[in-house]
A = this chain, B = another copy of it.
Amino acid sequence: MKMKERLFTPGPTPVPPEVLLAMAAPMTHHRQAAFEKLFASVSGKLKTVFQTTSPVVILAGSGTSAMEGSIVNLLSAGDKALSVNAGKFGERWGQIGKAYGVNMQVLDVPWGEAVDPARIEAALKADPSIKAVYATLHETSTTVLTDIKAIGAITHASGAILVVDAISGLAADVLRMDEWGVDVVVAGSQKALMLPPGLAFAAIGPKAQEAMKKSTLPKFYLSFDKALKNLEKNTTPYTPAVSVVIALETALSQLIAEGIETVWTRHAKLAEATRAGILAMGMALFSKAPSNAATSVLLPENVDGSALHKKLRDEYKITCAGGQDQMKGKIERIAHMGYYDQFDVLVVIGALELALKDLGAPVKVGEGVAAAQRCFAEK
């Protein structure tokens, strides 16, 4: 049967047709009133999605550019900072810090597990000169959710700045920036915001804005100070990715019409049903603290993860993500962040059952989709 192409990757994610059409809008110049009005509108809507009253700067770049921005704008060479390395993206905080001469203390966490917030509390108590904590809401490489609320309470008490990489978590997992005391939230366009890649975001709270004044690390393109000053005038210091900003208005309008709390609930249901489907077909989960953004299947010893990934992609036209680094070939990651509904879960669980059976795994075909379906019916 001719299959449709379907994307279940943790970014890029499927983009709604209305947003794709917005990407094709005629080009417009950014230094004029009409674009500034659009920019003001998306800036306001972003605050709702980030759950903050602080400004959210928009960069032309991938998520990593905003991560780097959150280091070079807040710290100086030799400053002490703490980062959580529970996977490939948490590791990146340490790598960026190292590139800039930050004295980054790295908390290593086994892949598949979430950091125990008490370790952060202990580290901050042991060394009160630590200026900032860098964490990850949803660690994409392991599909693990971090308890940012607990960490926020700890950094709030200690005075350290809390920076959260919410690139793949924002609008999928609950994140209440202001309420939880998060100082900087970093995001990217191509995840649950339902946009093509090309924009990075950083919401910058008052404590972080204070820290910016003392930071001496070199920066130019990623200067938050310039971005904030331009944001006040509803513009950017350098040419923005105009098409994605136009599409952002459409995507944010859809999210806000649905309601951010409802968006979170939808993701919780998608994740719950995906987990139920995987368990019911006889497979196991890899993440010990599963997120609502993506789910990873821990594969049986006799199943080659790259063969599974290829079969899903080439035979069933379902593109998920394999394991990275130490988990290469051992897990398959199913993203459900962004433009997904309950029937998409049936599709991906259905394909997973068939592909695993083809590869000789002991799956109970039909049990997975039935369990997912029941999960939705019960709610």
A residues with CB within 8 A of B: 5, 7, 9, 11-15, 20-21, 23-32, 59-65, 68, 95-96, 99-101, 188, 190, 196-198, 217-222, 238-244, 313, 319
Contact partners of A20 in chain B: CB under 8 A: 24-27
CB-based contact B239/A11 at 8 Å: yes
CB contact between A21 and one of B24, B96, B217 (< 8 Å): that residue: B24
Contact partners of A221 in chain B: CB under 8 A: 61-62, 64-65, 68, 222
Contact partners of A188 in chain B: CB under 8 A: 239
Shortest beta-carbon distance from A24 to chain B in Å: 4
CB-based contact B12/A319 at 8 Å: no
Q: Give the complex CA separation of A243 and B21 in angstroms.
A: 12
Q: Give the complex CA separation of A238 and B200 in angstroms.
A: 12
CB-based contact A313/B60 at 8 Å: no
CB-based contact A64/B24 at 8 Å: no
CB contact between A65 and one of B61, B63, B313 (< 8 Å): that residue: B61
Contact partners of A28 in chain B: CB under 8 A: 5, 7, 12
CB-based contact B12/A26 at 8 Å: no
CB contact between A239 and one of B14, B30, B197, B222 (< 8 Å): that residue: B197
Contact partners of A101 in chain B: CB under 8 A: 218
CB-based contact B12/A62 at 8 Å: no
